[in-house]
Amino acid sequence: MRRSRWPPVVTAAVLVFLWLPIAVLAANSFNRSRFGSSWEGLSLRWYRALLADADTWRALRNSLVVGVGATLTSLALGTSAAVALHRHRSRLQRLHYALVYSPLVVPDLLMGMSLLVLFVALGADLGLGTVYLAHTTFCVSYVAMVVLARLQDFDPSILEAARDLGAGRWTVVRRVLLPLLAPGLAAAGLLAFTLSIDDFVITFFVAGPGATTLPVRVYSMIKHSRNLPAINALSVLMLAATFTAVRASRRLLQEDRP
Amino acid sequence: MSPARTVLAIALAALAAGCGRPRPVLHVFTWADYIKPELVRRFEREHGCRVVIDTFDSNEALHAKLQAGARGYDVLTPSSYMAAVLRRQGRLRDLDHARLPNLRHVDPDHLRRAPDSEMVYSVPYMITATGIGWLAHRVPDAEPSWTLFDRSDLRGRMTLLNDMRETLGAALKLLGHSLNSTNEAELAAAADVVLRWKRNIAKFENEQYKSGLASEEFFVVHGYSGDIVQAMESNANIVFAVPREGAPMSCDDLVIPVDAPNPELAHAFINFLHDPAVAAENTEFIGYLCPNKDALPLLSEDTRSNPAIVVPAEVRDRCEFIADLGPALSLWTRAWDRIKGGQ
């Protein structure tokens, strides 16, 4: 039987579709011109503009603080929720499931508005703290769903075997459950971080004075800013940082193996 | 440290980052890059304070946020029409003119046409006009008039804004009416004009026209002065003019919310922005005009002679601010629907 020529073609097409916009963005970050449609020569102009742009760096810092904070909190809460949902079945748990699930289907606009109204009613000062709480709220659902999926093809008898062999409850969690869940936790954490880093709608509503995050700033720059292409430069730097982190983690994981 | 404590520590750190330091803090809620950073730093030095700038991306988003009860901002920069809405809802404070000596520099010619001409609750910050940008070498015989869109020899090479108020407003100005007209016959005639233009244009377009003009895909575009000034940087053949029949102008105002935590510093900031030297520097940086009559002589020759920034007086007299339409809005939407649906 002859092998079809289609799979490599489709693979190539998908890769181009995924990576071409990023390649264009990277190329444009070195374009002297403000507009992507014309090439006016190689230049580091937008990198210089970015370097001098204190507001963008402050926004990036805010995004990272919120992203890391919301990821860690939602990992803890979401994983506990998933374990509870997996282990116990009752009417109350069905309600619990619905509550954890619903933020996934509630539109962002509604969620942002209602959280804002809630914070105002509670008399909370809007700021990075409220952004962190809001992000944790929606990240918990995603984490719980990802971890729950991991738990579903998880053999509970392993835990029982560990107990039989004399491990304490905490040792079982630490030495058996968490290592087995680790890939799911890593995936959930990355997903939560990504969602937090690029959320705009909810953030805009719950952010208070001094809590502008990167997406909120970028949206506002579209209207007036002469510095908008500096965002291309920032994206390239962020991509580079991501690739470096992925490579480094691969290295570390490989070294771990015998 | 246990995981729970780590989380708590990070949460507290996140909260602490939002809280104030001993120095007084001024919170400004505005468009991104709408104040020259060096000027902000100078204000911080002169007043021993810290300025925190947050950004919004549309007047409507700002409105929704304030309406839901967001507080803590000292100075906002909504467009005039939104400032009027916020004022009607009782969200803006009366300005204390004793603390704003620099208001004497504000251009009286602008104030005459502004909705809040006594500056009771707002001080004009930046004005822009809508107009026509074109490529001088492609359309050498172009005239600064809305009739440019009637030229069938430029068919497929022109764009109009995809904005009811701007585009129908342009047609109303061509016919010699107010661009805030609520007269049914005038609106119908304006819609006919736009339908005629529609045959000649490539599309209704709000974003791509800047790069399209810079890359010479389009020869004539209807657009905002600030955008076209940015496009000029990439293509020296671009010319901008506000049509001689007049055009919509818009203005962003400086206002202080009633619940501003630091109204004193907010007044000082508004006063600072209308210092003529500061206003001139800001105009050069943003590419819009701060309506400050004593700043005009301090502008560079390039800026002062750029009709996209300083609109010539005789044309400016025919420009208008877009006002709230009230119940006539449905008349407008019907006319606009006829244009967008018509062939």
According to DSSP, residue B160 is labeled E
Statement to judge: residues A8 and A97 lie in one domain: no
Contacts of B271 (CB under 8 A, 6+ apart): B99, B100, B101, B102, B103
Query: What pLDDT, on the 0 to 100 scale, is given for residue B19?
Result: 46
A243 is a domain residue: no
CB contact under 8 A, A219 and B17: no
Question: Tell me, what amino acid is at B121?
Answer: Y
CATH number at residue A179: 1.10.3720.10
Statement to judge: residues A204 and A99 lie in one domain: yes
DSSP track, B51-113: EEEEE-S-HHHHHHHHHTT----SEE--BHHHHHHHHHTT-BPPP-GGG-GGGGGB-HHHHHH
DSSP track, A45-111: HHHHHHHT-HHHHHHHHHHHHHHHHHHHHHHHHHHHHHHHHHH--SHHHHHHHHHHHHHHHS-HHHH
Count Cβ atoms within 10 A of the Cβ of residue B292 and give its class: 0-12 exposed, 13-18 middle, 19 or more buried. Answer: buried
Cβ-based neighbour number of residue A99 at 10 Å: 11
Interface probe with A: pick from B36, B50, B55, most Cβ of A within 10 Å: B55
A137 is a domain residue: yes
CB contact under 8 A, B7 and A73: yes
Whether the predicted interface score ipTM is above 0.90: no
Separation of alpha carbons A196 and A143, rounded Å = 12
Phi and psi of A88, rounded to 5°? -110, 135
A245 is a domain residue: no
- Residues of chain A in contact with residue B64, where contact means CB-CB under 8 angstroms, are 113, 205
Tokens 């008399």, residue located: A123
| Segment A49-92, tens digit of pLDDT | 898 888 899 999 999 999 999 999 999 999 999 989 988 888 88
Q: Is A215 on the interface with B (CB under 8 A)?
A: no
Q: Is A76 on the interface with B (CB under 8 A)?
A: yes
Statement to judge: residues A124 and A145 lie in one domain: yes
How many Cβ pairs closer than 8 A exist between chain A and B?
Answer: 152
Q: Tens digit of pLDDT per residue, chain B (343 long)?
A: 444 555 455 544 544 454 444 789 999 999 888 999 999 999 999 999 999 999 988 888 899 889 888 889 999 999 998 999 999 999 999 999 999 999 999 999 889 888 898 999 999 999 988 999 999 999 989 889 999 999 989 999 999 999 888 999 999 999 999 999 999 999 999 999 999 999 999 999 888 888 889 889 999 999 988 888 888 888 889 999 999 999 998 899 999 999 999 999 999 999 999 999 999 999 998 889 999 999 999 999 988 988 888 888 888 888 988 887 878 889 999 999 999 887 5
A246 is a domain residue: no
Domains in chain B, please, with CATH? 21-121+250-304 (3.40.190.10), 129-247+318-341 (3.40.190.10)
Nearest CA among B133, B136, B114 for reference residue B125: B114
Domain of residue A225, residue span: 56-237
Statement to judge: residues A21 and A140 lie in one domain: no
